[in-house]
Amino acid sequence: MTGSVEEIRAWCAASALPCRDGEDGALLVRLRPEDRNEVRIDPPRDEEPLRLTDRIALETHDLGPTRLAEVVEGVVLSRSSLVDARPTTDGQGAEVVVVVHAEGLNRHTFVEAAFEIEKIRLLLQREVTGAVAAERTLGALDALAGQVWAATAPPSA
């Protein structure tokens, strides 16, 4: 299989994935009809692999950029070697890329890659929510320890 735009469009239709034309020959697909986000599909050209790219908004709150990068890296390391993700420059999300090399591209591997994106979305949302809760808990415990220390410290001489 070549992974041509027409072929990918047919795979999307057969898998009930809403798909439309994007810029520069890319396709945009929704993993669920109610999704606001669209995954960008860059069909393979020459020896290049098929690329599925998703920008995932995350509720990072006060999670610093270093901690967000650690969480994103932890999720990526738990997945296939053909998955990569990086925090966005604004620190409010992640950009995820899944690749499928042309020689292994067929309807099955395409759908597998599309749903790998969905798994990454869910994992990132879960892990970031957990990290935010952990950071808030540590902050609250630190503040409480400071109050207890201040209330029980012996008077200074």
pLDDT tens by residue, 123-145? 999 999 999 999 888 888 988 88
Domain that holds residue 55: 5-152
pLDDT of residue 61: 85
* Backbone dihedral angles phi then psi of residue 142, each to the nearest 5 degrees: -65, -45
pTM given for the model = 0.81
Distance between CA 77 and CA 83 in Å, rounded? 9
Element (H, E) at 55: strand 50-57
pLDDT of residue 41: 93
Q: pLDDT tens-digit profile of 59-70?
A: 988 788 999 999
How many domains would you assign to the chain? 1
Per-residue tens of pLDDT for the chain, all 157 residues: 456 889 999 999 999 999 999 988 899 999 888 888 899 999 888 788 999 999 999 998 878 899 999 999 999 999 888 899 999 999 899 999 999 988 888 999 999 999 999 999 999 999 999 999 998 888 889 888 888 888 887 766 5
CATH number at residue 40: 3.30.1460.10
Q: Which residue has the tokens 């898998």?
A: 15
* Backbone dihedral angles phi then psi of residue 11, each to the nearest 5 degrees: -65, -40
**Which strands, in side-by-side order, build the sheet including 19-21?**
19-21, 27-29, 39-42, 50-57, 93-100, 83-87
Question: Is residue 157 included in any domain, yes or no?
Answer: no
* Backbone dihedral angles phi then psi of residue 90, each to the nearest 5 degrees: -85, -5
* Backbone dihedral angles phi then psi of residue 92, each to the nearest 5 degrees: -110, 15
Q: Do residues 36 and 88 make contact, with C-beta atoms less than 8 angstroms apart?
A: no
pLDDT of residue 156: 66
Element (H, E) at 51: strand 50-57
pLDDT of residue 1: 47
pLDDT of residue 142: 84
